[in-house]
Amino acid sequence: MSELDHNLAALAPYLADVGRYGILNHIGGQAVPAASGAWFDTTSPVDDSVIAQVARSNAADVDAAAQAAKAAFPAWRDMAATDRKAILHAIADGIEARAEEIALCECWDTGQALRFMSKAALRGADNFRFFADRAPGARDGQSLPSPTLMNITTRVPLGPVGVITPWNTPFMLSTWKIAPALAAGCTVVHKPAEFSPWTARILMDIAEEAGLPPGVWNLINGLGEEAGKALTQHPAIRAIAFVGESATGSAIMAQGAPTLKRVHFELGGKNPIIVFDDADLEAALDAVIFMIYSLNGERCTSSSRLLVQNTIADEFERKLATRANAIKVGHPLDPATEVGPLIHEVHRAKVMASFDAARAEGAKIAAGGVRIGDTGQFVAPTLFTGATNEMTIAQDEIFGPVLTSIRFATEDDALKIANDTPYGLTGYVWTSDIARAMRFTEELEAGMIWVNSANVRHLPTPFGGMKASGIGRDGGDWSFEFYMEQKHIGIATGDPKIPRLGV
Ligand code: NAD
């Protein structure tokens, strides 16, 4: 039996179960369909088959979930943080125990290659462990004594919060947002993306088995404009942590304005990878390829704009094209596959529209630029060369395995081009000149920059973007700053010299 057949056989029972029961909401500890009885289908990008029916929630379901989160909040907030820590570790244990199932289901639902998804499931467990260990210190503050006051600060959890996640690597991203909210003492209503809702349901089941009290974490499935919108407008929801497109972030800001929602946004990117002629070019080539073609290029931190110095550009682009053409596109459950199908027909059409745009704008398609097969959502890893930064293929987020290469002459040119985009999520700089690296990273408009490295996530470091790429940071203590309120308390230790009025 081939490894692909083995993995398909392993997936079959999970597929049968989800097909039988559908993907339900989870409100106040109960798995429930939408109150209206409405459903929508989720399909696999491998062959467009229906995986399951998904509860299609509306404002009434969101209200029930928000009320459940509100009711559960006082007890969760007041639970000993060491007990919360134990529950979060139990969730991590559950993720590890079901990591294979999570990876298989995620690949079938999203089209992501198994070679990356098995690690992503375990990263989800790491996220819970990291924030579990920080839970006991989450409320710690400072003492700031003045001559007449002992000033202390403390942090308190905000209350019920909404978490809205996108369809790319949905399992990992959900854990990344939900684990710190729970560790901080908040309760949660989660709305996963409609294109890939399966593993959020598995995660919910794991949390319940781990002993999470009812109502602390609620799951609402549905469409963005319906369930998502209602969540951002709900008065009991104190904050929205959102990962998705920049335009959706704007809409959420407007929707949340009447209830003064606190928002945390991780949005789109058009991230530059800058390769100078003094770089280790073989390592740079590996990084350029990995950062755009892994995870199908459906990755916010992907290096979708290559800025390559004129002096090395011909050979660098030639090698890139050769490697892009050799990337193994195939079934996501085949361990040999490097690039799987795109999430959905709608998204494939958007990615393929960039092929037409490249031609119309006068760029060259040096690799790919075509659909593969006529079943499923497969496209060939694509390289555009001869591009300028004004072209839409250099400005718009394509969010697929599509790289736009732009040439530059000098360091100043490179910086100007790199910053000439509405986005500012990540940047990657390849050079052997440390002084140049320091100068360049100072000026580069990006929330996260790696020098001579691909994106390697270290959980205590701040994650987030500038400009249209986001508001706020995740990771380490930054997550708690979002999910918690800072409180100042001043206690008189001497005469506070209060002016006496009316005497
Ligand atoms: P999207 O904005 O279309 O949808 C994201 C989520 O928002 C979904 O759950 C959707 O149902 C919901 N939604 C849509 N409209 C809404 C509304 N009006 N009110 C409330 N919720 C609404 O994004 P997507 O296409 O699912 O994901 C891809 C995008 O996510 C890309 O732009 C990518 O760069 C971005 N992303 C960013 C990061 C980051 O860390 N910066 C990480 C992953 C993905």
Domain count, the chain: 2
- Within 8 A by CB and 6+ apart from 52, the residues are 18, 19, 21, 22, 23, 41, 42, 198
CB atoms < 10 A from the CB of 138, how many? 22
Domain boundary among the residues 432, 451, 470 is at 451
Tell whether 246 and 174 lie within a shared domain.
yes
Domain of 340, CATH number, reads 3.40.309.10
Q: Is the CB of 232 under 6 A from ligand 1?
A: yes
Domain containing 182 equals 9-144+153-266
Tell whether 197 and 334 lie within a shared domain.
no
Closest ligand 1 atom to the C-alpha of 269?
A: 34
State which of 223, 243, 292, 396 you would mutate to test the pocket of ligand 1, scoring each by most atoms of that ligand within 8 A of its C-beta: 243
Q: What CA–CA distance (Å, rounded) separates 402 from 110?
A: 18
Domain boundary among the residues 212, 235, 266 is at 266
Catalytic positions are: 266, 300
Tell whether 232 and 308 lie within a shared domain.
no
- Rounded to whole angstroms, what are the CA distances from 388 to 37, 289, 292, 420? 51, 20, 18, 11
Task: Please provide the size of the chain in residues.
Answer: 503
Torsion angle of C-alpha atoms 256, 259, 262, 264, degrees rounded to 10: -10
Tell whether 258 and 380 lie within a shared domain.
no
- Rounded to whole angstroms, what are the CA distances from 33 to 84, 106, 219? 28, 22, 11
Tell whether 338 and 409 lie within a shared domain.
yes
Query: What are the start-end ranges of the H helices in 79-189?
Result: 81-97, 99-110, 114-134, 170-184
Tell whether 258 and 346 lie within a shared domain.
no
Written as one letter, the residue type at 374 is D
Quick one: pLDDT at residue 184?
A: 98
Read off the pTM: 0.97
Ligand 1 centre to CA of 36 (Å) is 25
Closest ligand 1 atom to the C-alpha of 167?
A: 26
Q: Is the CB of 228 under 6 A from ligand 1?
A: yes
- Within 8 A by CB and 6+ apart from 300, the residues are 168, 243, 266, 267, 268, 269, 425, 469
Tell whether 178 and 164 lie within a shared domain.
yes
Tell whether 316 and 257 lie within a shared domain.
no
Give the SS3 label for residue 434. Answer: helix
Domain of 235, CATH number, reads 3.40.605.10
Ligand 1 centre to CA of 268 (Å) is 9
Tell whether 237 and 360 lie within a shared domain.
no
Quick one: pLDDT at residue 144?
A: 96
State which of 40, 109, 168, 194 you would mutate to test the pocket of ligand 1, scoring each by most atoms of that ligand within 8 A of its C-beta: 168
Quick one: pLDDT at residue 77?
A: 98
Domain boundary among the residues 266, 281, 313 is at 266
Neighbouring-strand partners of residue 128: none
Closest ligand 1 atom to the C-alpha of 248?
A: 2
Q: What CA–CA distance (Å, rounded) separates 452 from 238?
A: 40
Tell whether 308 and 214 lie within a shared domain.
no
CB atoms < 10 A from the CB of 31, how many? 17
Tell whether 178 and 292 lie within a shared domain.
no
In a domain, 495, yes or no: no
Tell whether 234 and 310 lie within a shared domain.
no
In a domain, 4, yes or no: no
In a domain, 170, yes or no: yes
In a domain, 345, yes or no: yes
In a domain, 473, yes or no: no
Profile the chain (503 residues) by mean pLDDT over runs of 10 residues: 96 97 98 98 97 98 98 98 98 98 98 93 96 97 95 98 97 98 98 98 98 98 98 98 98 98 98 98 98 97 98 98 98 98 97 98 98 97 98 98 98 98 98 98 98 95 98 96 97 94 96
Cβ atoms of residues 156 and 487 within 8 Å: yes
Nearest CA to ligand 1 atom 16: 224
Ligand 1 centre to CA of 250 (Å) is 11
Cβ atoms of residues 54 and 86 within 8 Å: no
